[in-house]
Amino acid sequence: MQPKYGPEIRKQAQDLYVVNSYTFDEIAELPNMPSARSIRRWADDGKWSDMCPSYNAEMAFSRRINVLTDKPEKTDTDYKELEFCTRQLCALNKSKLAPAPRQRTANDDEAGTSTRSKKKKKKNNDCSGITVEMLDELKEKLLYPHQLHWFDNQDHRTRFILKPRQIGATFYFAFEAFYDAVVNGRNKIFISASRDQAEVFKANIIALVREHFNIELTGSPMVLNLKGGKTVKLIFKSTNARTAQSESGDLYIDEVFWIPKYKTLRGLAQAMATHKHLRITYFSTPSVTSHEAYDHWNGKWYRKTKACNDPEFAIDCSHKALRKGRLCEDGIWRQMLNVHDVVNSGFDRIDISVLENEYSQDEFDNLFMCKFIDDAHSAFNLKQLMACVGDSSKWDDFDEEYERPFGLKPVVIGFDPARFGDKACVAVLSLPMQPGEKFRLLETLDLSGNDFEAMAREIEELTHKYNVQHIGVDTTGIGYGVWELITAFFPNAEPIHYNPIIKNQMVIKALNVIKNRRFEYDKDAVNIASSFINIRRKVVGDQITYATNRTETTGHADIAWAIMHAMKFEPLDGNMMGRQTSVGIEA
């Protein structure tokens, strides 16, 4: 007898749990889903918890906080979970202060506390009782010295900060924005390189205010009610700034060196801060020197457009000049912080010796010393990769809500297994059937932490979900065991045993596809570009080959290799006429 719930339903439930942070009860409430008990059993059997990577904890808690706060009617369980997620997110940001004293309101009962039912009756987003003294107390106890330095320099019209990874920038700018919104009543607009990062901004503000002022914030945009009947608006957007063009406020643009079409975005976004009292803050980790934002950072854009190519005009963007921050000749306050600056100032959450041991020198310099990657050292060009960014919501032949998201159209799959702590990645690409047609990145999976059988089962479920024509598997190391299991349900799975010739073929193919804009991935998948640019050329003997600085922490290029394993199915010349698929080839 066929099971009542097929692999498609299981996969949908798994995605809701792993990707969207739904609980078992919430999944069970959706149409065509079994009981929460059954879903919990699926999760235990499939080890879904292992698929929730620890490095994404901030985003996972942020998503959950946003889901719960936007629920119009919350249960006691919702409140308990919201409190848990709030405390976890605050712990990640090392919130060191007990909840600040809350202003008493008319809703407080005679004992001085509010019941949950009375909380619900309070005015939405009521921040009228928060004073500047309360915020200052919070500032002194929450912020590290480098963050306090940013706070002291927030009144510049434009700031541009280059920073290392994981030094609390997102949390800080969320705090700064809330502080100023309450004190000075200026709207705030957040533009991030991805939707996920925009959610982190929003969740940080929600968690901060709930933890320290016992106030529930909801809404998108989020409208805060201030003293005297005034209101202020907080707006959270990803790179689609067009949807917020009519708004006006202080502007925060996050990870600018990873935003595609930066010049266009900057032109749209700056119009939101036209009024002279408004401020613009750019902050980011570095990517490559060819990114459109690089000329903005180093002052070349100003020299070309405003200084009329004056050879005498130059901005010193060295670390020595910018370590403490400086108002530069083009009116921008710039700062370049590396990991040593932050740790030496008192940031106690990073052990530099551990990072130096875990990362190659090139990776350490890029991620923590604010050194840009020169495209000459990368096999791929970031500008070309950014030109491949698309909008998956406009793919009218793909709907991830369906059991068969891509119908009967053919796809190819690439699998890059985990080795020595790397991430095990799967990429699902549409298969071009006509000359010039694109490979579209439909889905990716992170199978890190699973055993051979679990990885193979996940890939087998993809064969039920899509019309799979090819599965390319790296069998150089432990991937051989997974490949053997895959051949049990997909006999033609292609083993790819790495050597300089095979690597050259895959990279040359990917370079050709990307150069000709025959690859497309969603605008929110910012990790795709960073994965490709971390693939470097190297010489082995008399041959040129390609390598990646792999680490347990990042595994940067694993998704890029998985994509190339999938693309390998198409011949180098792009002619699919010689390939037989289950849907045939049109002449």
Q: What is the pLDDT of residues 518-559, one digit of tens each?
A: 999 988 777 788 888 888 776 555 556 676 654 333 344 789
One domain for residues 334 and 384: no
- Contact (CB, 8 A) for 296 and 160: yes
Q: Which residue has the tokens 């059997």?
A: 45
**Does residue 506 lie in a domain region?**
yes
One domain for residues 304 and 392: no
By residue range, what is the domain housing residue 186? 123-368
One domain for residues 220 and 326: yes
Distance CA 565, CA 58 (A): 30
420 pLDDT above the threshold of 50? no
One domain for residues 513 and 464: yes
One domain for residues 160 and 47: no
**Does residue 243 lie in a domain region?**
yes
Instruction: Give the pLDDT of residue 243.
Output: 56
One domain for residues 151 and 44: no
One domain for residues 409 and 332: no
**Does residue 110 lie in a domain region?**
no
One domain for residues 162 and 247: yes
Instruction: Give the pLDDT of residue 104.
Output: 38
What is the full DSSP assignment across 348-397?
A: -S--HHHHHHHS-HHHHHHHHS-PPBPGGGSSS-HHHHHTTEE-GGG-TT
225 pLDDT above the threshold of 80? yes
Q: Specify the 3-state DSSP secondary structure of 171.
A: helix
One domain for residues 250 and 395: no
Average of per-residue pLDDT across 260-285: 87
Which of 343, 368, 393 lies at the terminal end of a domain, its last residue? 368
* Per-residue pLDDT tens over the stretch 341-368: 999 999 988 899 988 886 667 778 888 9
**Does residue 57 lie in a domain region?**
no
- Contact (CB, 8 A) for 467 and 450: no
**Does residue 180 lie in a domain region?**
yes
One domain for residues 347 and 383: no
Predicted TM-score of the model (pTM): 0.64
For the ranges 38-47, 100-109, 450-459, 497-506, the lowest mean pLDDT is seen at 100-109
**Does residue 264 lie in a domain region?**
yes
Find the CATH number of the domain harbouring 448. Answer: 3.30.420.240
**Does residue 44 lie in a domain region?**
yes
One domain for residues 392 and 362: no
Domain count, the chain: 3
Distance CA 168, CA 148 (A): 12
One domain for residues 18 and 43: yes
Query: What is the token pair recorded at 251?
Result: 């502007």
| Cα→Cα distances 70→59, 76, 329, 521, Å | 17, 15, 45, 29
